[in-house]
Structure 1
Amino acid sequence: MRFEDLAGVSRAVAATPARNAKIELLAAALRGLAESGDERTVSAGAGYLAGELRQRQTGVGYASLRDLPPPAAEASLSVADVDIAFQRMSELSGKGSQAARKAEVAALFGAATDAERRLLVGLLSGELRQGAQAGLLADALARAAGLPLATIRRALLLAGDLKAVAVDALLGGAEALDAYRLTVGRPLSPMLASSAPNATEALAATGVPAAADIKIDGVRIQVHRDGEVVSVYSRSLDDITARVPGVVAAVAALDVTSVVLDGEAVGVDPDSGRAIPFQETASRAARRDGVSILHPFFFDILHLDGADLLDEPAATRWAALERVVPPALRVGRTMLDTPEAAEEAFARAVAESHEGLVIKSAAAPYDVGRRGAAWVKVKPRHTLDLVVLAVERGHGRRRGWLSNLHLGARDPQTGGFVMLGKTFKGMTDEMLRWQTERLQALAVEESEWVVRVRPELVVEIAFDGVQTSPRYPGGVALRFARVLRYREDKRPEEADTIDTVRAIHKGMP
């Protein structure tokens, strides 16, 4: 398939407001990819429609896109050509790699027309905002492959990779997707929680009976054990086994043959035995020297000794968890059957300095990758997970650092982000140094005062309220926003939505 054709589809999808029309455009493009019969073309092309590269890192930043050669007059690139070029860029390292990567970028952009270059820039910057988010692509893939949407969604949940599912659905059909199973050793998308303003509303959403789990201020982990082999994965499905020996040792000691556990890992101070702050826990989990000591707390079990438990009611999974995981490795849990019990559990959690509760339906299956009413989190303060869209250069004491963050909520309709305001509050000197280095690496455009960045970095923001604001495109802005912590364990597509912000605004006096 020609890359020019994919660029045309991308433009058409961005210009089309109707959901069904977007789906049909995407489905037609997917069918075109399938006609190639080539796995690379299908995988790369499906990724490009979603704004993703097959290569997680290419090393191409804003500076690499300067001084490009003139665009090509005629299209000549195929989807596979572009993927091969990105692959070469991703494999460059060591001395001379920067110059070699710049040469690769120049060769690719020199062979691309104006329309193709716009798509290339969108892919490299992470800002391909055409409204083709995962839900639309799942619908389009089902339509293109002639398969039930439920089959596509189940495969996406178990594989956690749209590109792989596209290859199997379009080239292998139903038989290939029927082979998808929970595989011990292969991570799956974690179940997610929605939010409620209080415990009573959370319980109303889940129904009774339900459980109130202590919300631990740690990093999400998924642990797979197959015989003597233990593997640990992050929320973003990265393999972090070598970085968390304490977690590995704890699961290796369990009296099981095979198991898949869901939980949180928390850094524990060796002297006091108390949990350390999240920012330090996240830093330890990100270290690559294999000496991070994090303690696991598990709250769910997805597989046990050859039996998959995904579709079992939560109460059945919890009973299995209690049989094989000792109390010291389990999240604190209180069973609920009334709103009064829920409010008491929440007050107790806050009094004990926990982050809040996650209230969970006892009847719900483990709905991987979804954020629904089966799990509902409650916190004692207003917080949102937002995406950094840009940052302003500091002045005065902060001169030389990137300081004032431009914050955006996810727009589920367009796949883009809606700016809610700015903040420079809540940052320590250490955080300023870290974010300056991190955001410079994400820069896509710079001016004298503002650096626009790829929308990849998620930050948790506390705020006092939401107010009407004609200044920002969403019509609302945060009051007294301040940074709590960066959430490198979250992807931008997991950030809170503008709909959530508007709901908070509507519910405020």
Structure 2
Amino acid sequence: MTIQTFTSYLESLSKTASRNEMTVVLAKLLSKSSSDEVDKVCYLLLGRLTPKFEGIEFQMATKSMIKVIALAYGSNVDEVTKIFKQKGDLGVVVAQLQPKADRPLADVGKRAHQGEPLQITTVYDKLLKIALEEGSGSVERKIFGFSELLKSLDPLSAKYMVRIPVGALRLGFSDMTLLDALSWMAMGDKSLRKLLENAYNVSADIGLIAKAFKEKAGKGIVHLKATPGIPIRPQQAERLGTAEEMIEKLGTSVAEWKLDGFRVQVHIISSKLKIKSSKFKTQRKQMQLGEKRSDKEVQIFSRSLENTTHMFPEIVGEFRKLDVGSAILDGEAIGYDPKTSKHLPFQETIQRKRKHGISDIAQKIPLRYYAFDLLSLNGESFLEVPFNERRKKLAELFEKKGKKLDPKTVTIAEQVIVSTPEALRKQFDESVKQGFEGIMVKKREAVYTAGARNFNWVKFKHMGVGKLADTLDCLVMGYYAGQGKRSGFGIGAFLVKV
């Protein structure tokens, strides 16, 4: 597929407001994409180069892109800046400046390709190379590399490519719409959406799903399983108003402390792990795109599937001691006072969310990880295993393989079996005394429903309250200018103070 064909679909999508119409347009685009292109097409449609958990970003702000445009089209930074302030969209700036560039437009999109149209895979590879530039002089190399790419693009392609590095593509759909489009591509309707979503929940990489589906249709995705290095969309909890409702809904259940910290999914990948499955190899190859993470044993992912390994050095260090081939654990990390060992409120724990100065803040606010679920062990998925059996395997893992783990940093969440409302309320009171925010009530025989919010898990945070305990009073402090599709509104988002 040529880059011109791809961006012509982007132009069509930008003018489409109906979600169903978008799905049809996307289905046509995905249908035209080859199996070698479709993963890259999906990433670019979302304004990315890789799955979100890969964490590969351009690190190019609007000012850098203004320099790129000026260099590509023989303009000056002041002129480009002036036009950008008027238009509020780098794509519109390019559309205005490119025809004025001192070069034959007949060569646009064909330079260095001997008359052959520029392919989307070629553009993707160049974008990835630019994003992976690092070290001394990387900013200058990125600006030069992107300006050279712009010179080779047709006007429409340039308009959309300059929006990607600054996160301004904003076509108005998400990964879930792409799942609908894949179903529509194959069936002409959304009948395969559930099958596709189930696969995505277990392997949250839209490019991997699209590629497997393109190659072998439904057979390509039904065999996808939990894979260390590719995050699983976390199970989420519902709410019920009273202890009586919870017991009536779940029956005899398990109560665990409700921790107010970071949801942390830990992936352990031993360097000694022997990979025999060809499918597993394919997934690991996808995970190691750009060779940014291939040498790491422990990966940590957030609730929103971001790679947050760098934020938790003490947890990573402890799990390197766990004597397993591979494993995926679900749990929560919460800060504690190193002098008293008492848990800290979320307002203090959240200070650990940063990119710099991590060693210093880790000394001030150490974290304790409470594992409450085991999703995979040594290549075997436990997602379809009942919770009480998963919990038993988790306890056995820590008992047999985790003797070197420091319990101050890594431990198992405590749990109690409850069968009456009175017992449930008693556990709630005890959790509050221990400094927790309430309890999680879990159905013992339930499987782990990745990506779902259902009544297999129920939050019990406020006695007798099944909704927000209070409203928030906010003061509007400012706003962000609308970009992409939001440029016509003027305002993209509000900045508020609580």
The interval holding the TM-score normalised by the smaller chain is 0.5 to 0.7
CA contact (8 A) 1:205 1:374 kept: no
For the structure 1 residues 92 and 248, does the alpha-carbon distance in structure 2 shift closer, same or farther, using more than 3 Å as the test?
A: closer
CA apart distance, 1:208: 3.0
| CA RMSD, Structure 1 to Structure 2 (Å) | 4.2
Q: Is the 8 A contact 1:299 1:330 kept in 2?
A: yes
Q: Structure 1 residue 62 and structure 2 residue 62: aligned?
A: yes
Which position in structure 2 is the counterpart of 1:49?
A: 45
The answer for the alignment partner of 1:182 in structure 2 is: 226
Shift of 1:305: 5.6
Provide the rounded CA distance (Å) in 2 between the counterparts of 1:383 and 1:124: 40
Match of 2:321 in 1: 252
The residue aligned with 1:169 is 213
TM-score calculated relative to the size of structure 2: 0.66
- Pick one of 192, 197, 206 that aligns with 1:153: 197
Residue equivalent to 2:276: none
- Map 1:422-501 onto structure 2 (within 5 A): 422=475, 452=481, 482=498
Distance 2:196 2:357 in 1: 32
**SS at structure 2 position matched to 1:213:** strand
Q: 1:323 to 1:423 in 2, by over 3 A?
A: farther
Q: CA deviation at 1:382?
A: 4.7
Deviates more, 1:322-331 or 1:4-13: 322-331
Change (3 A) 1:186 1:290: farther
Paired residue secondary structure (2:98):
coil
Q: TM-score scaled by structure 1?
A: 0.65
How many Å separate the matches in 2 of 1:351 and 1:286?
A: 33
Q: Aligned equivalents of 1:481 and 1:357: distance in 2?
A: 30
Shift of 1:31: 0.9
User: After the TM superposition, which of the residue ranges 87-96 and 109-118 deviates more from structure 2?
Assistant: 109-118
The structure that has the greater radius of gyration is: 2
Once the 2 structures are TM-superposed, how far is the Cα of residue 164 of structure 1 from its aligned partner?
A: 1.9
Residue 357 (structure 1) aligned with residue 439 (structure 2): yes
Per the alignment, residue 184 of structure 2 pairs with 143
Distance in 1 between residues matched to 2:147 and 2:268, nearest whole Å: 46
Match of 2:373 among 279, 292, 300: 300
Q: Distance in 1 between matches of 2:492 and 2:437?
A: 32
Shift of 1:8: 3.2
Contact persistence 1:219–1:282 (CA under 8 A): no
Q: Which residue of 1 aligns with 2:337?
A: 269
User: Which residue is 2:8 aligned to?
Assistant: 8
Partner AA of 2:384 in structure 1: D
Q: Take 1:454 and 1:321, find their aligned partners in 2: how far apart are those partners?
A: 47
Gaps of 5+ in 1: 385-406, 408-419, 425-448, 456-471, 483-509
Aligned counterparts of 2:383 and 2:229: Cα–Cα separation in 1? 14
Q: Distance in 1 between matches of 2:22 and 2:322?
A: 51
CA contact (8 A) 1:360 1:375 kept: yes
Q: Report the CA distance between 1:346 and its aligned residue.
A: 3.6
Distance (Å, rounded) in 2 between the aligned partners of 1:382 and 1:261 = 29
Q: Which residue of structure 2 lines up, in the alignment, with residue 82 of structure 1?
A: 123
Equivalent residue of 2:368, what SS?
A: strand
Q: State the structure with bigger RCO (CA 8 A, min sep 6), 1 or 2.
A: 2
User: Shift of the alpha carbon at 1:299?
Assistant: 0.5
Cα distance in 2 between the residues matched to 1:373 and 1:302: 19
Question: How far apart are the structure 2 equivalents of 1:370 and 1:361?
Answer: 14
**Residues 473 and 65 (structure 1), Cα distance of their counterparts in 2 relative to 1, 3 Å cut:** closer
Identity within the alignment, %: 21
Q: 1: distance between equivalents of 2:226 and 2:338?
A: 36
* 1:214 counterpart = 2:283: no
CA separation of 1:65/1:23 partners in 2, compared to 1, >3 Å: closer, same or farther?
A: same
Instruction: Describe the SS at the equivalent of 2:374.
Output: strand
2:429 and 2:419 map into 1 onto residues whose CA distance is 16
Residue 71 of structure 1 aligns with an amino acid whose one-letter code is Q
Query: In the aligned structure 2, how far is the partner of 1:211 from the partner of 1:450?
Result: 45
**Structure 2 residue 281 is the aligned partner of structure 1 residue 233:** no
The one-letter code of the counterpart of 1:12 is: S
Amino acid at match of 2:145: E
Q: 1 or 2, which has the higher strand percentage?
A: 1
- Residue 396 of structure 1 aligns with which residue? none
User: How many angstroms apart in 2 are the aligned matches of 1:133 and 1:33?
Assistant: 19
Change (3 A) 1:454 1:129: closer
1:123 aligned partner, one-letter code: I
**Distance change >3 Å, CA 65–CA 221, structure 1 → 2:** same
Query: 1:251-280: CA deviations, max 9, x gaps?
Result: 7357x6654321123344332222343124
Deviates more, 1:54-63 or 1:217-226: 217-226
- Name the CA shift for 1:143/1:338 in 2 (closer, same or farther; >3 Å): farther
Contact 2:352 2:361 in 1 (8 A): no
**Structure 1 residues 23 and 378: CA distance shift in structure 2, 3 A:** farther
Matched residue type, 2:375: L
Deviation at 1:170, TM superposition (A): 1.3
Q: 1:86 to 1:248 in 2, by over 3 A?
A: same
1:284 CA displacement:
9.3
Instruction: Determine the C-alpha separation between the residues in 1 that align with 2:256 and 2:360.
Output: 32
Check the 8 A contact 2:38/2:207 in 1, yes or no. yes
